[in-house]
Amino acid sequence: MPFKIAVVGIGKIAIDQHLPCIAKNKNFQLVAGVSRHATLDYVPCFDSLSALIKSKIKIDAVALCTPPSVRLAMAREALDAGYNVLIEKPPTPTIGEMVSMIDYTKKKKRVLYATWHSRYNRSVDEAKKRLKGKHVNFMRITWKEDVNKWHPGQNWIAEPGGFGVFDPGINALSVVTKILPDPIYVESSRIEVPENWSTPIGADIKFKRGDGKPVDMSASFDWRQRGEQIWDIKLATADGMKMKLSKGGTVLHVNGKLIMEAPMEEYQMIYKKFAKLLKAKKSETDYSPLQLECDAFMLAKPVVVGKFEWD
């Protein structure tokens, strides 16, 4: 029997990825949608999670595709109703809310799956394998994209808890926290905040290792990019291996040689994994990418830049 699932928040990512991937996965059956604005013509839609719960439609799980700032209350309401919960990235606006969501899920004996879509690339798995046991002493993350293209008119990204450029930046951090053999920590950061925003539009972060050994590791996030969109991670190890993950983690070069160019299957893999977790009644709630971003905010030197205007 497929898991009966409802999608909550019918915005860009629900339409681009969640709904098509659920439709193609035999382990799931979409039985409802929750949206304050949109409707789906093939399943019943409700204007709130409470209305869905009151309808008594049988639901095994919900996919929360809303912005992070409203997820904790939604997750708790869903868990109270006996549903299992999948959440988009970034999981919550703060570590406090994430820890609370994890604890609440345990108390309710349900499954919580905090997804990180950029982790689901075969090139990322290959990079992890090749870095195992090595000493990484160089990392350069360059994550530069045009906010107008990827978040058209989404004003929530500029509000507190909306993450700003840390919303895409966390994708890069989700990759490095998966592939690096040792954890990294934030040493310092500089964030650029438009005068009409509460969140950064640009950020430069320096990282360090826990053992104090000298490293050159940094990330540069920018949402003002025009033309070519850049999602690159360059790494080097003490024994001379040079690695480059490009195009968001789908293309892997090692020592200048193309190793892998894998097709983008991130959300297909997410639903494959969710089915596994539901069958095993196991949660997956790694929040190390969120921890790094919270630390980058905590240690940031903020700089106010000019007003941002949508195209």
Is residue 197 a contact point for ligand NAP (CB under 6 A)?
A: no
Annotate each residue in 37-56 with x if it binds ligand NAP (CB under 6 A) or - if it does not, as one string.
Answer: xx------------------
Helices (H) then strands (E): counts for the chain? 10, 15
CB 216, CB 137: distance < 8 Å: yes
Q: Indicate which residue of 12, 26, 56, 89 is catalytic.
A: 89
Is residue 88 a contact point for ligand NAP (CB under 6 A)?
A: yes
**CB hemisphere CA count around 128 (13 angstroms):** 14
Annotate each residue in 226-265 with x if it binds ligand NAP (CB under 6 A) or - if it does not, as one string.
Answer: ----------------------------------------
Alpha-carbon torsion angle 88, 89, 90, 94, nearest 10: 50
Is residue 209 a contact point for ligand NAP (CB under 6 A)?
A: no
Report the C-alpha gap between 50 and 134 in whole angstroms.
50
Report the C-alpha gap between 188 and 175 in whole angstroms.
20
Report the C-alpha gap between 222 and 203 in whole angstroms.
7
- In 3D, which of 306, 295, 284 has the Cα closest to residue 224? 306
Residue closer to ligand NAP, measured from CB, 219 or 235: 219
**Parallel/antiparallel/unpaired status of strands 242-246 and 230-237:** antiparallel
Is residue 78 a contact point for ligand NAP (CB under 6 A)?
A: no
Distance of closest approach, residue 229 Cβ to ligand NAP, in angstroms: 12
- Output DSSP code: residue 311: -
281 is catalytic: no
Annotate each residue in 268-297 with x if it binds ligand NAP (CB under 6 A) or - if it does not, as one string.
Answer: ------------------------------
Is residue 121 a contact point for ligand NAP (CB under 6 A)?
A: no
The residue range among 60-68, 191-199, 224-232, 269-277 that interacts with ligand NAP, by the rule CB under 6 A, is 60-68
The residue range among 30-38, 120-128, 231-239, 297-305 that interacts with ligand NAP, by the rule CB under 6 A, is 30-38
Is residue 61 a contact point for ligand NAP (CB under 6 A)?
A: no
CB 90, CB 167: distance < 8 Å: yes
Q: Which residues carry out catalysis?
A: 89
